[in-house]
Structure 1
Amino acid sequence: MSSLFPTYARWDIAVEEAHGTTVIDRNGKEYLDFVSGIAVCNLGHCHPKVVGAVQEQLNKVWHVSNLFHIPLQEEVAQLLVENSSGDYVFFCNSGAEANEAAIKLARKYTGKKKILSFKQSFHGRTMATLSATGQEKVQLGFAPLLEGFEYLPYNDAASAMEAINEDVAAVMIEVIQGEGGVNPGEQEFIEAVAKSCNEHNVLLIIDEIQTGIGRTGKPFAYQHYSISPDIVTVAKGLGNGFPVGALIGKEKLKEAFGPGSHGSTFGGNPLAMAAAKATLTEIFNEQFLQDVEEKGIYLMNQLKEKLSKSNIVENVRGKGLMIGIACKEEVANQVTQLRQEGLLVLNAGPNVIRLLPALIISKEEIDQAVSLLEKELVK
C-alpha cells in the first residue's frame, strides 16, 4: 500500500534508468521517449555536459542561501537576458513559482490587481497561478480563488483588444497553449494583444514554462512573433531535469522587486545554476536551434503525410518539437497502446496526443515514432 497522496494517475511503469531519448523500466523494456519529463529534458536524459556540471558543483557547494553572492546566478542570468527581451532575472524552483512571481511583480509595479488570461490556459497549481488558469476542471474544490482574474477567448483579437484597458495590470498568455491542447497563437492575435498592452500601459507576461529553452526552434517561442514582453517566465527545460525556474523582466520593473519584496530559499542554488548554465550553453547555440527548427518541420510534415488517411485525426499543429495531434475522439486508449508498443507520448486535454521529444532527437527516431503513430491512428 502506497504512502503517497494519489494526486497522479500514474502509468504502470517504474523507470530504472534513462539516457538520451531512451527510457528503460525495471523489467528492462526500452521506450522511445516523446515526453521528455513533460518538456523538461530538452537535451535528453543524463546529458553528459549537464551531468558533469552538476557533479563538479556537488563537490564544491550545494546551498548557501541568497544571503550570499552566487556567481553562477549572474552567469545564468546573463545568458537569459542576452537571449530575451529582459534585463533582470529572479530565480525560483518551478514554473508555478515563476508565474507566482510574475503575478506579484505585475501587481506591485502597477498598483493594480486585474490580470487577464485566456480560456484553456494553464499557469500552475498554486492559489495565484490556479486562479490565472482558464480551466475550470483544475480549479474545482479550491474556491474561493484569488480575485482579479478574467479569462478571454484564445485567438480572438477583437475580444482581447476590447478587454485591455488602463484598469488592467497585466495580460498573461502562452503563445502556444500546452496543457490546453497545443494551441498555437495566431500571428494577428498575439501581436494585437501586445500592441494593446503597449497602448494602455499594461504589462505583457509571456508564460514560456513549456515552450521556452529551444522547444520551438528559438530560445523562446514568443520570438516567432514581433513582440517584446515585459515579463517572461521559464522553468521545465531550464535545468534539463534539475528543478529550477526563472522570471525574466525588463529594466523598468527592477525597483518593484527590491530587497524583501520576494524571495526563495532554494531559488538559484548552486546545483540548479550549474545545471542551467550547462543546458543553456548547449541550447542557446545558433546551429543547435536551427537543427531543432529543421527537425520540427520534418516531424510535422511526416505526421501530416502519414496520418492524412486517418479516420480519427482532425489536424496536426504546433511549432518546432512541440506538436499536438488533434483527434475526433478521446485519445487515452491510443496513448496507452503506444506506450505498450514502446513509444511514450502525452495527451493535452482529452482529444489531443502531445509530442515533446528531446531536442536532440534524430530523424531516424522521428521516423520510428511516426511509424508507430501511423500504425495506431490509421486503421
Structure 2
Amino acid sequence: MVRLARYYKVYPLSIIKGSMQYVWDSGGNRYIDANTGHGVAFMGHSNPEIINAVKAQLDKITTVPLNMGNEARDEFVSEFSKIIPHGFDTVFLQNTGTEAVETAIKIGKKVTRRKTIVAFTNSFHGRTMGSLSVTWNENYRKAFQPLYPHVRFGTFNNVNEVDKLIDDDVCCVIVEPVQGEGGLNTATVNFLKALREAASRVNALLIFDEIQCGFGRTGEAWAFQHYGVEPDLFTAGKAIAGGLPIGLVVAKGEFGDVFSPGEHGSTFAGNPVVMAAAAAATRVFTRVNVPSIVKETGSLLAKRLSELNSRLVIRVKGMGLMIGVELRTRAEPYVEALMRHGILALTAGVNVVRFLPPYMISGDDVEAIVNALNEVLKTQ
C-alpha cells in the first residue's frame, strides 16, 4: 500500500465537509475554522457563488494553456482589475504562492541584471529553492544548503540600516507588509517608506509579498494600502480562488513584457476552473465589500483577545483578520487544545497562536474563539 509523505505534523482529525466559517470532522463535530488552510478559505468553505461558478466551468472545459485564449481567464482579469490600484496593469498567473515569489525574483533579476536580493528577519516567502533562499527561518533552510548565495538579510522594521542594505548590487527587495509565518509582525510606515526610497535610489525593484496578507485579509484590498507606499510589484495568492490553487504577481506597466517567449511558463497557470473560481471570489469580494467587514470584525476580535487576563499572554499582534496572540511559551500545545474546544487555529513562529478566520465570522464566533482560548490558557 502506498502511503502519503508527510510534510507537517498530522493532527488526529479528519475534516470531511465545510460551509463558510465552519467545518465538520468525521465524527460530526463542528469547528470554527480560524486556520482556513493557512488562510486559503478566507472567502468561506464551499461558498455557493464560487462553487456554482466552478460547476459551470467543469461542464465547459477544464484546461487551456496560456498560449491560447479562454473566456474564464478573461472574466477573471476583468473582475480582478476592479480591485487593483491604478498603475498596476499586468498579472503573471501561477499556481502557488512560492511560484509567485520565484516569478517576482526572476522579474527583478531580468530587469536589473543584478544578483543580490534583500530580505528580512522572520520573513517567510515559500519553500522552493529561490523563495526558500529569502525565507529567514533556519529550520526551513538548513537541510537544503547551499541555497541562492546572494541574499542579504536585514532586520525587519529597522529603518536605520536600510541605506546600508540596499546598494547598486541589489536587484530586488522583498518584504511582507504583515509577516504571517514569522509571527504576525506588522511593518511600520517609516520602514516601508525607507525601503521605497532606497530601492528607487538604486533602481532596484521593491516587491511586497501579499500572499497571506492580501485580498482583504487586513481590512484593505492590499495590505500596502494601509501605508501609502507602493511597490513595483506584489505577489498574491491563497484566498483569491476560493480554495483552489493560485498564485500571481501584479506588476506596474513597465514590467509587463519582461519575459521573452520560453523564459518563463507554467503548465497549469490560468486553468479555466481556477479562473472561474477566482472571478467568482472577486465578485463576492467587491459586492459585499469584504475589507469593510474585515475592519469591523477584525477590530472586535483584536479587542476581545486583548482583554484576556492571562499571565501567559504578552500581546495581541496583527491586522484585520490576521491576528496573533503572542505567548510566553510555545504556542503549539494551545493550538492542539483549541481543537478540543471546537476552534481550528495555527501557530506563527514558536510562540504565537495565529487566527486566520474567513471574512464572514460572526460576533458569536469571535466570542467562542476568545472563550476557548481563555479556557485553554487556564488549563494547559
| Residue from 92, 101, 104 that aligns with 2:103 | 101
Q: Which residue of 2 aligns with 1:284?
A: 286
Partner AA of 1:11 in structure 2: Y
What do the CA deviations read for 1:59-79 (whole angstroms, capped 9, x no partner)? 000002122112332332344
What do the CA deviations read for 1:142-167 (whole angstroms, capped 9, x no partner)? 11101211111111011122211222
Q: Which residue of 1 aligns with 2:34?
A: 34
Partner AA of 1:258 in structure 2: S
Judge conservation of contact 1:117–1:172 (CA < 8 Å) in 2.
yes
Q: Which residue of 2 aligns with 1:11?
A: 11
Alpha-carbon distance in 2 for matches of 1:156, 1:25: 44
By how many angstroms is 1:304 displaced?
0.8
Q: Which residue of 1 aligns with 2:338?
A: 338
| Residue from 134, 142, 150 that aligns with 1:132 | 134
After superposition, residues 1-379 of structure 1 pair within 5 angstroms as 3-85=3-85, 86-285=88-287, 287-305=289-307, 307=308, 309-378=309-378
What do the CA deviations read for 1:102-139 (whole angstroms, capped 9, x no partner)? 11111011111111001110111111111111111100
By how many angstroms is 1:2 displaced?
6.4
Consecutive unaligned residues of structure 2, counting only runs of 5 or more, are none
Alpha-carbon distance in 2 for matches of 1:300, 1:310: 15
By how many angstroms is 1:82 displaced?
3.9
Judge conservation of contact 1:80–1:248 (CA < 8 Å) in 2.
no
Judge conservation of contact 1:77–1:88 (CA < 8 Å) in 2.
no
Q: For 1:42, what is the secondary structure of its paired residue?
A: helix
Alpha-carbon distance in 2 for matches of 1:56, 1:300: 39
Alpha-carbon distance in 1 for matches of 2:352, 2:303: 18
Alpha-carbon distance in 1 for matches of 2:239, 2:378: 32
Partner AA of 2:160 in structure 1: A
By how many angstroms is 1:340 displaced?
0.9
Distance 1:148 1:81, change over 3 A: farther
Alignment TM-score, normalising by the size of structure 1? 0.96
By how many angstroms is 1:222 displaced?
0.9
For the aligned residue pairs, the C-alpha RMSD in angstroms reads 1.4
Alpha-carbon distance in 1 for matches of 2:127, 2:338: 29
Q: For 1:302, what is the secondary structure of its paired residue?
A: helix
Judge conservation of contact 1:311–1:378 (CA < 8 Å) in 2.
no
Partner AA of 1:325 in structure 2: V
Alpha-carbon distance in 1 for matches of 2:311, 2:229: 38
Q: For 1:294, what is the secondary structure of its paired residue?
A: helix
Distance 1:50 1:286, change over 3 A: closer
Judge conservation of contact 2:30–2:342 (CA < 8 Å) in 1.
yes
Partner AA of 1:40 in structure 2: V
Judge conservation of contact 1:238–1:279 (CA < 8 Å) in 2.
yes
What do the CA deviations read for 1:17-56 (whole angstroms, capped 9, x no partner)? 1111111111111111111111101111000000000000
Alpha-carbon distance in 1 for matches of 2:296, 2:196: 28
Alpha-carbon distance in 1 for matches of 2:59, 2:16: 25
Partner AA of 2:33 in structure 1: D
What do the CA deviations read for 1:343-377 (whole angstroms, capped 9, x no partner)? 11101011000000001111111111111112222
Higher deviation after alignment, 83-92 or 216-225: 83-92
What do the CA deviations read for 1:224-277 (whole angstroms, capped 9, x no partner)? 111111111111011111111111111111231232221101001100100100
By how many angstroms is 1:285 displaced?
4.5
Judge conservation of contact 1:315–1:326 (CA < 8 Å) in 2.
yes
